[in-house]
């Protein structure tokens, strides 16, 4: 008798525990996913306007998108930029992480704040500053400026995410390695780096996706000879209204899903995103 009442009570409280949060979460997913579904659906249209519902079913806009040279060139540019910026952010970010977590330097908080600041400073402001200082002031070319801008953008991710995996590792591990005869460099390579591996993979993936999708910075720093894919697509929809851009978006989406699945299989999202909200 009592057990039954208890069970019923438990069931009800489960359903009612977070009614508001639950509803909001569902609404959030709907708001995020439905527009994407519209885009994907229109990409398969046989008609010639970006309209829902699609008129007929065809893959012709995919063909058009793949053959459209501004898009394909922009994909290459975006990939180049994203890969290089991510690599640079990791190369710069890992020593900073080590200094913050393992170093005996004063003002660690300040250093950490400095490297996380690009997260809070609006990208348009950063873009404008880079434009004025680097492109105009130092006459750096467009790609270098974009690379520096994107690297700055990705540094917080590199520092935070690799820092999260370093924070989980026992500092005594490196000492143990030293005590067993490893030089500081050997200890880093044989012990610290393997500890950092999940963090490096996560930071790399996050950085790559962030750079690849970035609009504000790229928009400000673009020129005729170097354009990223999102900016090119933005330009395109301002001029014409055909479904080719939906097809291009769908392809990017598909590629992103593949990356996400691989990331989930190899590292796990909990680790990737856990690193940011530490």
Which residues here bind another protein, judged by CB under 8 A?
A: 170, 172-173, 175-183, 186, 190-191, 194-195
Question: Among candidates 106, 93, 121, 112, which has minimal Cα distance to 217?
Answer: 121
- Residue number with CB closer to another protein (170 or 225): 170
Beta bridge partners of 223: 226
Phi and psi, residue 105, nearest 5°: -105, 150
Closest CB 160 distance from another protein, rounded Å? 22
User: Interior CA angle at 17 toward 12 and 21, to 5°?
Assistant: 140
- Residue number with CB closer to another protein (70 or 184): 184
Closest CB 175 distance from another protein, rounded Å? 5
Do 185 and 116 meet the contact criterion of CB atoms below 8 Å apart? no
- Residue number with CB closer to another protein (32 or 270): 270
- Residue number with CB closer to another protein (87 or 195): 195
Closest CB 114 distance from another protein, rounded Å? 25
How many CA atoms lie less than 13 Å away from 61 in the CB half-sphere?
28
- Residue number with CB closer to another protein (3 or 181): 181
CA 247 from centroid of its chain's CA atoms: 22
Closest CB 103 distance from another protein, rounded Å? 15
Closest CB 171 distance from another protein, rounded Å? 9
The CA-atom distances, in angstroms, between 45 and each of 72, 115, 187, 252 are: 21, 46, 58, 18
For residue 10, what are its two tokens?
């438990």
């Amino acid at each position: 008798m009592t057990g039954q009442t208890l069970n019923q009570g438990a069931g009800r409280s489960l359903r009612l525990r977070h009614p508001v949060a639950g509803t909001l979460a569902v609404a959030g997913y709907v708001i995020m996913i439905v527009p994407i579904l519209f885009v994907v659906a229109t990409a398969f249209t046989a008609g010639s306007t970006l309209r829902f519902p699609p008129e007929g079913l065809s893959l012709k806009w995919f063909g058009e998108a793949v053959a459209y040279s501004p898009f394909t060139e922009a994909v290459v540019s975006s990939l180049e930029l994203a890969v290089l910026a991510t690599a640079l952010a990791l190369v710069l970010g890992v020593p900073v992480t080590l200094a913050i977590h393992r170093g005996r330097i004063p003002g660690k908080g300040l250093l950490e704040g400095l490297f996380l600041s690009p997260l809070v400073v609006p990208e348009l402001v950063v873009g404008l500053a880079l434009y004025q200082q680097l492109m105009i002031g130092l006459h750096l070319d467009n790609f270098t400026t974009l690379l520096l801008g994107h690297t700055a953008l990705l540094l917080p991710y590199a520092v935070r995410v690799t820092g999260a995996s370093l924070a989980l590792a026992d500092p005594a591990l490196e000492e143990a390695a030293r005590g067993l005869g490893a030089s500081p460099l050997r200890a880093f390579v044989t012990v610290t780096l393997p500890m950092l591996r999940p963090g490096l993979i996560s930071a790399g993936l996050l950085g790559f996706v962030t750079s690849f999708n970035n609009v504000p910075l790229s928009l400000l720093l673009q020129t005729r000879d170097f354009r990223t894919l999102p900016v090119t697509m933005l330009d395109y929809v301002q001029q014409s209204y055909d479904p080719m851009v939906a097809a291009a978006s769908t392809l990017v989406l598909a590629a992103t899903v593949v990356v996400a699945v691989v990331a989930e299989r190899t590292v796990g999202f909990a680790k990737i995103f856990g690193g940011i909200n530490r």
